[in-house]
């Protein structure tokens, strides 16, 4: 499903923030690249970034348009690098894998939007436990437009919303690190019902166990 260009586009001369989120394999990067490609076709000056933890995906982020123009994403580790490496006069900034960035990305993209830049971010919204991931919740709050994409659950074929971490083919326990660099783990897209996190007892607990006292 191709998502429409933001409705705001027609009415708003200034900048804004778009977030493309959802589970792994839901097509976030494809959608980000589609929007970048269309910005290039429109003749906009575009800078793309990708937060990088390892080299696994090197080479995937060259975006080209039919008229021959193109650009490669700059790998970055921090929000500061994004601020430093955005040249003056840029009209569109695209940031992939934003979940790995620090919270400083929120004021950086807000400042860009305030200066008239269209900022497009993509990132997964939950970690392997199903908890909100890094700066994504805050980015969703400040964005003008949010699109939450789904993948297909590899277990049951329903819509997948959750990232299943596997170690040697088995569901990974909750106590593992949120970000595992260069690990031997793998990931699957799964629905809520098929998502497994040993060490949590979601379905067995009373709802009252989940509600903090006094809330």
Residues labelled as active-site residues = 97
Q: Which residue, 143 or 191, has its beta carbon nearer to Zn ion? A: 191
Residue with tokens 């939007």: 113
What mask, x for binding ligand ADP by CB under 6 A, covers residues 181 to 200? --------x-----------
For residues 4-40, b (16+ Cβ closer than 10 Å) or e, as one string?
eebeeeeeeeebbbbbbbbbbbbbbbebbbbbbbebb
- Give me the helices (H) in the chain, please: 8-11, 28-41, 79-84, 105-114, 136-142, 207-210
- Please tell me the distance from the alpha carbon of residue 159 to that of residue 190, in angstroms, as a whole number: 8
* By the rule CB under 6 A, 25 interacts with ligand ADP: yes
Question: Considering beta carbons, is residue 102 or 147 the nearer one to ligand ADP?
Answer: 147
Stretch that binds ligand ADP, among 2-10, 65-73, 111-119, 148-156 (CB under 6 A): 148-156
- How many residues of this chain interact with ligand ADP, rule: CB under 6 A? 12
> At which residue do the structure tokens 């939950």 appear?
126
Task: Note whether 76 binds Zn ion by CB under 5 A.
Answer: no
Which of 106, 153, 172, 189 is the binder for Zn ion (CB under 5 A)?
153
Residue selected from 34, 57, 155, 187 as contacting Zn ion according to rule CB under 5 A: 155
Closest CA to 95 of 115, 114, 109, 113: 109
Encoded one letter per residue, x for contact with Zn ion by CB under 5 A and - for no contact, window 1-40 reads ----------------------------------------
Q: Which of 64, 67, 71, 18 is nearest to 45 (CA)?
A: 71
Q: How far is residue 98's CA from residue 51's CA, in Å, rounded to a whole number? A: 6
Q: Residues interacting with ligand ADP, by CB under 6 A?
A: 24-30, 151-152, 154, 160, 189
Q: Residues interacting with Zn ion, by CB under 5 A?
A: 153, 155-156, 158, 191, 194
């Amino acid at each position: 499903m191709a998502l429409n260009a933001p409705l705001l586009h027609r009415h708003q001369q200034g900048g804004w923030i778009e977030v493309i989120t959802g589970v792994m394999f839901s097509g976030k990067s494809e959608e980000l690249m589609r929007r970048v490609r269309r910005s290039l076709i429109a003749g906009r000056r575009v800078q793309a970034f990708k937060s990088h933890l390892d080299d696994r995906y090197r080479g995937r982020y060259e975006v080209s348009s039919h008229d021959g123009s193109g650009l490669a994403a700059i790998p970055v580790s921090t929000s500061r690098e994004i601020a430093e490496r955005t040249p003056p006069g840029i009209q569109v900034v695209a940031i992939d894998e934003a979940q790995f960035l620090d919270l400083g990305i929120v004021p950086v993209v807000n400042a860009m939007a305030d200066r008239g830049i269209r900022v497009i971010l993509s990132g997964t919204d939950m970690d392997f436990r199903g908890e909100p991931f890094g700066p994504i919740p805050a980015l969703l709050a400040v964005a003008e437009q949010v699109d939450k994409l789904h993948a297909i659950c590899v277990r049951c074929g329903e819509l997948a919303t959750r990232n299943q971490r596997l170690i040697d083919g088995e569901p990974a326990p909750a106590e593992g690190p949120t970000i595992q660099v260069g690990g031997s783990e793998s990931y699957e897209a799964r629905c809520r019902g098929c998502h497994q996190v040993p060490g949590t007892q979601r379905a067995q607990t009373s709802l009252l166990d989940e509600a903090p006292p006094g809330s």
